[in-house]
A = this chain, B = another copy of it.
Amino acid sequence: MTETLMRGIFAPVVTAFHQSREIDSDRSIAHCRWLLDHGCDGLVVFGTTSEANSLSLLERKRLLEAIVGSGISPAQLLVGNGACALPDAVDLATHALQIGCGGVLMLPPFYYKAVSVDGLFAFFAEFIDRVADPRLRVYLYHIPPVAQVGIPLTLIEKLSARYGRLVAGIKDSSGDWENTRRLLTEFTEIQVFPGSEAFLLPALRLGAAGCISGTANVGAETMQQLYQNWQTAKAEEIQSKLNRVREIFQRYPIIGAVKAVLAAANDDDSWRYVRPPLSPLSDPDSKVLMRELEGLEFQLPKF
Contact = CB atoms under 8 A, between A and B. Distances in A.
Given A53-B85, A56-B88, A85-B54, A146 B111 contact: yes
A284 interface: no
A122 B126 CA distance: 36
Interface in A79-128: 82, 84-88, 91, 108-113, 115-116, 118-120, 122-123, 126
A71 interface: no
B278 A119 contact: yes
A102 to B, nearest CB: 23
Contact of A111 (B57, B82, B88, B122): B82
Size bracket of the A interface: 35 or more
B120 A277 contact: yes
Contact of A277 (B48, B119, B148, B278): B119
Contacts of A55: 85, 87
Contacts of A299: none
Contacts of A110: 110-111
A88 B108 CA distance: 20
Contacts of A122: 276-277, 279
Nearest to A60: B85
Contacts of A149: 277
Interface in A231-280: 275-279
A145 interface: yes
Given A53-B111, A54-B85, A85-B56, A116 B147 contact: no
